[in-house]
C-alpha cells in the first residue's frame, strides 16, 4: 500500500459514520434480531455471500444509516426486482426493520449492523453500486463538531469508487447549513456531476418516502434539501 492510500484509509477510519446512542430494545425487536438476523443479516466478520457477484445485472442500492428502516422497507417493497443493502449501527432500528421486512415478505434486502465506512472499504466491491442513499445524517450543528460530519472529501471519494459510472449518490437533510456543506463538498469532487438543472438541489425523487422525522421537521418549518449527484466516467476507468 502506498503512503497516500494508507493516509487516506487511516483518515476515513477516523470519520465514524455514527455515534452510538442505542436505546432499549423492545421484546419484539429482540425476538426479530434472534429469529430473523440469519435470514437478512450480513456479518461483517464473515465472507460476503450477498449480493451474488453473478447478479451484477440486478440494480443494487446501498442506504447508509437507515434509522428505523421504514423508508428502506418501502423502497424495497416498491422495487422488488432490485437489491438493497442497509447499514445501521443502532440495534433497535435494525430489529424494527427486520420485523417489517418479514411482515411484508421482502427478500431483496440485506443488513449490516456495523460502521458504514468500514463496510464500504472492506465489503463492497468497487463499481458495484447503482445508488447510494444518505438520508438525514447527523448534521453536527456546532462548528467545532463539523469535522465529524460524514460528508467529507475522502468519504465522497470512497463513494465514487463504489458507484458504477452513471450511478447516483442521493443525500437529503433538513439542516440548511449542512445542505450547503454537502453541496460544496460534492461540487469539489471531479468524479460527480450535479443532476440539478439549477446547480444546487433537486425536487424529492418519487422513490424517496417522506419519513416521520421529515414530517416533524416540516411542521417546525425546516426545509428539506435533496441532492442527487451522478458518478461520471473518468480517464482512470
Quote the pLDDT of residue 8. 47
Cell of 110: 440485506
pLDDT in tens, 193-233: 999 999 999 999 999 999 887 888 888 888 999 999 999 98
Domains of the chain: 3-231 (3.40.50.150)
Query: Among the options 138, 191, 200, 226, which is catalytic?
Result: 138
Q: Identify whether the C-beta of residue 76 lies closer than 8 Å to the C-beta of residue 86.
A: no
Quote the pLDDT of residue 6. 47
CB atoms within 10 A of CB 184: 11
5 band by pLDDT with thresholds 50, 70 and 90: very low
d(CA 113, CA 183): 28
Rounded percentage of the chain residues whose pLDDT exceeds 70? 86
CB atoms within 10 A of CB 165: 13
Mean pLDDT value across residues 185-189: 98
Higher pLDDT: 4 or 123? It is 123
| Predicted TM-score (pTM) of this structure | 0.88
Note if 138 is an active site residue.
yes
pLDDT in tens, 126-176: 999 999 999 999 875 667 657 879 999 999 999 999 999 999 999 999 999
d(CA 166, CA 164): 6
pLDDT at 234 over 80: no
Average pLDDT, whole number, for the chain? 89
Cell of 11: 483518515
CB atoms within 10 A of CB 78: 11
4 band by pLDDT with thresholds 50, 70 and 90: very low
Q: What is the DSSP string of 166-233?
A: EEEEEEEES-HHHHHHHHHHHHT-TTEEE--TTSS-BPPPTTSPPPHHHHHHHHTTPPPEEEEEEEPP
Amino acid at each position: 500500500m502506498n503512503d497516500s492510500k494508507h493516509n487516506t484509509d487511516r483518515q476515513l477510519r477516523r470519520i465514524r459514520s455514527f455515534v452510538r446512542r442505542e436505546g432499549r430494545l423492545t421484546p419484539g425487536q429482540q425476538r426479530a434480531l434472534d429469529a430473523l438476523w440469519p435470514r437478512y443479516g450480513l456479518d461483517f466478520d464473515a465472507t460476503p455471500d450477498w449480493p451474488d457477484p453473478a447478479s451484477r445485472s440486478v440494480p443494487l442500492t446501498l442506504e447508509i444509516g437507515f434509522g428505523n428502516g421504514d423508508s428502506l422497507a418501502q423502497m424495497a417493497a416498491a422495487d422488488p426486482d432490485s437489491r438493497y443493502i442497509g447499514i445501521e449501527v443502532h440495534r433497535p432500528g435494525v430489529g424494527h426493520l427486520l420485523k417489517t421486512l418479514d411482515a411484508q415478505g421482502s427478500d431483496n434486502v440485506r443488513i449490516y449492523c456495523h460502521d458504514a465506512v468500514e463496510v464500504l472499504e472492506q465489503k463492497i466491491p468497487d463499481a458495484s453500486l447503482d445508488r447510494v442513499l444518505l438520508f438525514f445524517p447527523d448534521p453536527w450543528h456546532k462548528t467545532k463538531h463539523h469535522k465529524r460530519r460524514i460528508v467529507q472529501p475522502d468519504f465522497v471519494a470512497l463513494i465514487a469508487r463504489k458507484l458504477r459510472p452513471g450511478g447516483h449518490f442521493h443525500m437529503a437533510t433538513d439542516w440548511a447549513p449542512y445542505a450547503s456543506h454537502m453541496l460544496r463538498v460534492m461540487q469539489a469532487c471531479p468524479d460527480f456531476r450535479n443532476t440539478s438543472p439549477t446547480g444546487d438541489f433537486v425536487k424529492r425523487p418519487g422513490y424517496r418516502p417522506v419519513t416521520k422525522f421529515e414530517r416533524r421537521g416540516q411542521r417546525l418549518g425546516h426545509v428539506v434539501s435533496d441532492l442527487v449527484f451522478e458518478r461520471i466516467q473518468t480517464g482512470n476507468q
